[in-house]
Structure 1
């Protein structure tokens, strides 16, 4: 929700009109609307006055949005961390994230990121299953019956844990450009 844009439109102003009437630059109005960041100091005072609001009331709207975003971010972090359950519970990396995603998917943000995380985990299970099925064949044909199935399993588990850690780091940095796989199961 773009707060300044919504208030401006409800008040019946264009960006150009608001800039002229407040003395703020058009660029400032555009930046505030696109970033959805709380205006500070003089800008907050001028906009509050123009919109017939107390500065604290305008600030409060940004605080509400910020707390909602933090709640959504926490939900995504929980979805990501619930993947670790696969270490002790088969398919835990799919079951628990789906439960958490389903409970919080009314948020478009959580829905999109949660889908990406779950889709990646489904692909991971498919690849792991194929590798585990192929490893005895590869072992017999090329490695003179050396049992590699546990090595494959261990390597795939480590890979998935690394992906969870990388995703957690990106979430901490507010970087949501991860796990964009071309295949979508949900």
Structure 2
């Protein structure tokens, strides 16, 4: 892309683009956002103010999901606490954590609805819906497998979006 085209698409002065390219100046907030929008790049991918890579923390984040086996809603609460404390300090954690939390929220809603539905039908002495409890247990198993699998993948390489994005509540 030419400097002229970039300046036009970013709605900034051509001289500003030239100064940035020649390292005569650094783009500030709004200018940087406009240039990144024009280039269709995320600002975080370019600017890493004090951020570091930490594969071990990503592994811990993925494995923290398993806390749901001991703590109700632990698969949301523990990763949320970890994510909020470090999302601006570790490269890729903001997206990976948001992706993980969105999946876990959706997973909780579906799984708990199946458990509650089964319990309600059992209390009402309505039979024939054991598929609900088997489906819920299958989802529990899937969540355990995905957590361990994604922890292993995160250990080997940096990957932001491992969990399937079904509902995007956290950005």
Which interval holds the TM-score relative to the shorter structure?
0.5 to 0.7
In structure 2, what is the equivalent of residue 101 of structure 1? 83
Structure with more contact order per residue of length (Cα contacts < 8 Å, sep ≥ 6): 2
What are the ranges of 5 or more consecutive residues in structure 2 without an aligned counterpart?
1-20, 26-49
Quote the residue 2:23 is aligned against.
10
CA distance in 2, matches of 1:125, 1:92: 10
Change (3 A) 1:180 1:147: closer
TM-score between both structures, scaled by the size of structure 2? 0.58
**Alignment-derived partner of residue 168 in structure 1:** 151
SS across alignment from 1:68: coil
Q: Note if 1:156 corresponds to 2:142.
A: no
* Greater Rg over alpha carbons, structure: 1
CA contact (8 A) 1:75 1:104 kept: no
How does the TM-score come out when normalised to structure 1?
0.54
Gaps of 5+ in 1: 1-7, 13-64
Aligned length, in residue pairs: 122
1:69-102 superposed Cα distances (whole Å, 9 cap, x missing partner): 1x2x222221111111110110111110000000
Between Structure 1 and Structure 2, the one with more helix by share is: 1
SS at match of 1:10: coil
Q: How far apart, CA to CA, are the structure 1 residues paired with 2:141 and 2:65?
A: 12
Corresponding residue for residue 17 of structure 2: none
Matched, 1:184 2:150: no
For 2:102, the equivalent position in structure 1 comes to 119
Q: 1:109 Cα deviation (Å)? A: 1.3
